[in-house]
């Protein structure tokens, strides 16, 4: 898994009882030129911070037994660390698909042209389209207001598949008091992704000012 100046690796445990540990190898060429990256590792994961953003790295791992017999190499995986970028999608901008409700501007403090106000019903939704140049993990965050009501928790699906069951949109005290959700991570596919936020409660969702997407070059989708 690539990140900003980092690659996180994780592999299946070897279950043999004479296991001594693992060796991790890296190359910048697929299939050859591997060099040993680590000493003997006890854990079946490793974080490689010795990387340059934009470069592609190829990794294989081996297992060693207590007599120093080394296994064949694992399948190769690759990762390209990158500098993340962010986009904010407003209700009147490319990437905003629809709200199961209305676009309103009666509660000040919003940015852009207003905010998405879902109907007050379970499953009421807001939808966006986000383009990802390749499949990977992206962070999402929303700016919202929730007048004096309980937490309007919502779930997130991507391309129709549930990814997060319970994003918190707690009461902000007034419909004119806007704040940010926590940052949540979803998996996007290469190309356009339909991101849906759907209310878990009979109140629908909070009023949504915008959604921010952070990761490898996200762009508004069609
Ligand atoms: C109020 C508020 C709306 C909000 C609604 C709700 O009517 O003005 O913006 O969406 O409450 O409870 O959802
Ligand atoms: Ca509403
Ligand atoms: Ca807005």
- Name the residue with tokens 């990802």: 132
- 109, 114, 115, 117, best to mutate for ligand 1 pocket (most atoms within 8 Å of CB): 117
Nearest Cα residue to 219 out of 92, 91, 131? 131
pLDDT at residue 175, rounded to an integer: 98
Nearest Cα residue to 156 out of 122, 191, 185? 185
E-assigned strand segments in 39-146: 45-48, 57-65, 77-79, 85-90, 96-99, 101-104, 115-118, 125-132, 136-145
Identify the band that residue 148 occupies on the pLDDT scale cut at 50, 70 and 90: confident
Minimum CA distance residue for ligand 1 atom 13: 120
| pTM exceeds 0.85, yes or no | yes
Q: How far away, in angstroms, is 169 Cα from ligand 2 center?
A: 13
- 173, 174, 202, 207, best to mutate for ligand 1 pocket (most atoms within 8 Å of CB): 207
Q: How far away, in angstroms, is 203 Cα from ligand 2 center?
A: 7
Taking the CA atoms of the chain, what radius of gyration do you get in angstroms? Answer: 22
Q: How far away, in angstroms, is 24 Cα from ligand 1 center?
A: 55
Residues 152-200: pLDDT tens digits?
999 999 999 999 999 999 999 999 999 999 999 999 999 999 999 999 9
Count Cβ neighbours within 10 Å for each residue of 5-41 and write b for 16 or more, e otherwise.
Answer: eebebebeebeeeebbbbbbbbbeeeeeebeebeeeb
What CA–CA distance (Å, rounded) separates 107 from 111?
Answer: 11
**Nearest ligand to residue 178 Cα:** 3
What CA–CA distance (Å, rounded) separates 208 from 203?
Answer: 13
Residues 99-111: pLDDT tens digits?
999 999 999 999 9
Q: Please report, for residues 3, 11, 63, 152, the alpha-carbon distance to residue 80 in angstroms, rounded to integers and kept in the order given.
A: 8, 18, 25, 37
Q: Would you say residue 142 has pLDDT above 90?
A: yes
What CA–CA distance (Å, rounded) separates 89 from 96?
Answer: 7
């Amino acid at each position: 898994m690539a990140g900003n100046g980092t690659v996180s690796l994780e592999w299946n445990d070897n279950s043999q009882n004479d296991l001594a540990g693992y060796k991790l190898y890296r190359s910048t060429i697929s299939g050859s030129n591997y060099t040993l990256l680590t000493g003997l590792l006890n854990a079946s994961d490793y974080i490689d911070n010795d990387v340059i953003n934009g470069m592609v790295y190829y990794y294989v791992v081996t297992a060693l037994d207590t007599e120093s017999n080394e296994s064949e190499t694992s399948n190769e995986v690759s990762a390209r660390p990158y500098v993340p970028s962010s986009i904010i999608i407003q209700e009147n901008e490319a990437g905003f698909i629809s709200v199961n409700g209305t676009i309103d501007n009666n509660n000040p403090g919003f940015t852009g042209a207003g905010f998405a106000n879902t109907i007050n019903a379970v499953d009421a939704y807001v939808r966006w389209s986000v383009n990802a140049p390749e499949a990977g993990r992206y962070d999402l965050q929303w700016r919202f207001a929730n007048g004096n009501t309980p937490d309007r928790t919502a779930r997130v699906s991507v391309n129709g598949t549930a990814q997060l069951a319970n994003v918190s949109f707690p009461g902000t005290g007034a419909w004119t008091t806007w704040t940010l959700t926590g940052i949540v991570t979803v998996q996007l596919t290469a190309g356009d992704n339909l991101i849906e936020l759907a209310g878990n409660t009979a109140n629908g969702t909070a009023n949504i000012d915008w959604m921010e997407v952070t990761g490898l070059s996200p762009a508004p989708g069609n």
